[in-house]
Amino acid sequence: MLYSKMLIPTLREEPKDAEIDSHKLMLRAGLVRKSAAGLYTFLPLGFRSLLKVTRIIREEMNNAGAQELLPPFVTPADLWKESGRFDKMGKEMLRFKDRHDNEMVLGPTHEEAFTNIVRENVHSYRDLPLNLYQINTKFRDEIRPRYGIMRCREFIMKDAYSFDADEAGLEANYQAMRTAYRNIFRRCGLSVDPVLADSGSMGGSGSEEFMVPSQVGEEMIVKCNSCGYVANTERAAAYREYPESKETPEVLSETSTPSVRTIDELTAFFKTTPQKFIKTLIYIADGAPIVALIRGDMDVNEVKLKNAAGAIELELASEDKVYEITGAPVGFAGPVGIKKIRIIADISVPPMVNAITGANRKDLHLVNVNPGRDFEWEKAADIQSIREGDLCPECRKPLNAYHGIEVGHIFKLGYKYTDSMNVVFLDKDGKEKKPIMGCYGIGVGRTIASVIEQSHDENGIIWPMSIAPFHISIIPVNVSDETLMEASRKLYAALKQNYEVLMDDRDERAGVKFNDADLIGIPIRITVGKTFAAEGKFELKLRAGKDKEVLSETDLIRRIGEIYAEETAKYSGN
């Protein structure tokens, strides 16, 4: 392809609204352009890489026995009402009515649509197992789209849904997808960690995320370097002991604590440790207040709390709401005396003896508070945030923490959708049974952005050969020199028989061309310039390296073949 014939609008300056490297570089290299908040157009260079990622996904999914289909992007609201998720999905799901007043949905995910396809077409155990997938558009009306295509509103996803006759079949499909996902990300040049994860609104019994370690990742991961335990903090547990206290419960009493409200202030005031306090936090869950209790040296993980409360939406109550519920300012809340409000206690709270907590009155705290005697709770659950240095639940060694970008997620959904949507098949004995489901998603655009986050330098993108928009760029340094142009055209004609080649035929200074080549990040750069004019030889440089090789045409073509074979072997499907 000739550069002069392509739409490659590179930018010299960093876009002001771009926060992370991948967003900056995708805009500067002319891969994407923003249409509106969270909406992006893939331009020709970006679309070439997008197609390569989807090709890799298709090959690995097909090798794993999955079958591709293409359902509508728009789904009837009735399907979502059947599953019970129409109201639960919240404002992220965009709803509308067509001209016939039918309620419709722009699909944020497609569990309902695929379950309906199976309901209408699968009737016998002979039709199972099935693993169906699509590579299609999704829309989620994110409240804060950010980081370019990393977190946008409209995006391309590969989502697959497996249907099996029993749990053994689900496990086989799940493991096949785990292997396929490892292959997909390896072939895209990504280093990923599979981690235990929360299933969220998708539901189900088991869930793993495929995480790219990155400082800009929105997820926090904990990992044990001793035994390999790894999980995101929404799911992670830590080993903690709650030994039975030998203290004798004492009489509940009040203590004046003027303007003393934080754990640090209270610890100093009472001359004790944070473990002696019960922190009381007020949240609003689906519009109703709930109380979360946790030991003073710990923090509440809001995803765990939301799951424990069975809530769809959860937010910390405002100061005014806290005062309305407790009768005291923030910092003086406590569980004693709170009535008709759900209380969720962390597992650290029930074993406590003679604890200290707010008295629900300004400048007062209660001492000798004993759970079970002085207050009750609806549920005790692990709602703790895990921190670096906490002990691994498997081997009790310290956990390390790092940020990660989620590029894939696999779920064991169980019977959540086949139950709610009444999907049945006849088993070998002619009895009705319901298939068990799995769900497997990959963010295609997010995968590309993650590759760039992992592989770039101060000059631009460094693509792996497998998903680079072109394999080779040819740069004639002076388009007015017919000798150089003739050699470039001849080399271009020879190489494009076996490789994807971009020839920069623009009438631009050599420095501009070199800068754009580095910015775009094509793996192999060939310069046709002074060396060719003097010796009839070409300069070869790899984008990922610093050294240059000066080669004759014959040696150049041989060397390119070697490089291409080495690079593609790294990311092959074998």
Whose CA is closest to 278, among 341, 362, 343, 342? 343
Could you report the per-residue pLDDT of 77-97, keeping only the tens digit for each? 999 999 999 988 888 999 999
Confidence band for 203, pLDDT divided at 50, 70 and 90: very low
Could you report the per-residue pLDDT of 323-346, keeping only the tens digit for each? 999 999 999 999 999 988 999 999
Q: Is the peptide bond before 129 cis (omega within 30 degrees of 0)?
A: yes
Q: Are 541 and 473 in contact (CB under 8 A)?
A: no
Mean pLDDT for 491-504 is 97
- Indicate whether 204 pLDDT > 60: no
Residue that is written with structure tokens 């039709």 in the block: 127
- Give yes or no on whether 29-198+413-453 and 253-381 have one common fold: no
Tell me which CATH code domain 253-381 carries.
3.90.960.10
- Indicate whether 201 pLDDT > 50: no
Query: Distance between CA 214 and CA 402 in Å, rounded?
Result: 8
Please give the radius of gyration of the chain, using alpha carbons only, rounded to the nearest integer: 29
- Indicate whether 202 pLDDT > 50: no
Beta strands in 149-213 (DSSP E): 154-164, 193-196, 206-213
Residue that is written with structure tokens 């050969």 in the block: 465
Q: Considering the domain 29-198+413-453, what is its CATH architecture?
A: 2-Layer Sandwich (3.30)
From residue 486, give the alpha-carbon distance in Å to each of 349, 480, 483: 79, 11, 5
Residue 243: predicted pLDDT: 83
Residue 17: predicted pLDDT: 85
Angle between helices 21-28 and 444-454 (to 10 degrees): 100
Mean pLDDT for 134-158 is 93
The number of angstroms, rounded, from the C-alpha of 530 to the middle of its chain's C-alpha atoms is 48
Residue 573: predicted pLDDT: 59
The token duo for 388 is 């670096």
Q: In sequence order, what are the residues at sequence separation of 6 or more whose Cβ sits closer than 8 angstroms to the Cβ of residue 504?
A: 3, 473, 474, 475, 476, 513, 516, 517
Phi and psi at residue 545, to the nearest 5°: -125, 180
Query: Distance between CA 37 and CA 538 in Å, rounded?
Result: 45
Residue 387: predicted pLDDT: 87
Residue 218: predicted pLDDT: 80
- Indicate whether 457 pLDDT > 50: yes
Pick the CATH number of 459-570 from 3.90.78.10, 3.30.1360.70, 3.40.50.800, 3.10.440.10: 3.40.50.800
Averaged confidence pLDDT in the chain? 93
- Indicate whether 478 pLDDT > 50: yes
Residue 43: predicted pLDDT: 98
Query: Distance between CA 165 and CA 181 in Å, rounded?
Result: 23
Q: How far apart are the first and last CA of the chain?
A: 30
Secondary structure tally for the chain: helices H, strands E: 14, 31
Domain positions in the chain are: 29-198+413-453, 253-381, 459-570
Pairing type for strands 314-316 and 425-426 reads: unpaired
- Indicate whether 205 pLDDT > 60: no
